[in-house]
Amino acid sequence: MQVEALAVAGQDDSESKGVRDEGLVPVGPGEATTSFDPTRLDFGHYIGMTIEELAAVDADYLRWLERHPSGHRYRVEIQRVLGVTRFSTDWRQ
């Protein structure tokens, strides 16, 4: 009944549902601009630290991250900083 009353009153449907256009960009597939920096972590406990800074503090974490799927986009930088070892990408280690 309320929907009919709003329609009769001539209000815009999106307005009646609380939708406001504030210049926001919708989230979803499409062209994306990113500022991803492969030298700086953007998640987790070490967020904001560079790979080089982290190597001095917790190299074991970097070796784990290199093998873990969430670290895929950092592998080249981790290998550049720590060097490629015989088992650097071996999941059995």
SS3 40: strand
pLDDT value of residue 77: 95
Residue 71 has pLDDT above 60, yes or no: yes
Q: Read off the pLDDT of residues 11-61 as tens digits, 9 standing for 90 and up.
A: 555 555 666 667 766 666 656 666 889 999 999 999 999 999 999 999 999
Residues 73-89 have a mean pLDDT of 82
pLDDT value of residue 36: 87
pLDDT value of residue 12: 55
From the centroid of its chain, how far is CA 41? 10
CA dihedral 10, 16, 20, 21 (to 10 degrees): -40
Task: Give the span between the Cα atoms of 49 and 38, in whole angstroms.
Answer: 11
| CB-CB contact of 66 with 41 (8 Å) | no
Q: Read off the pLDDT of residues 49-58 as tens digits, 9 standing for 90 and up.
A: 999 999 999 9
Contacts 24+ apart (CB under 8 A), 82-86: 82/55
Residue 90 has pLDDT above 80, yes or no: no
CA dihedral 38, 42, 44, 47 (to 10 degrees): 100
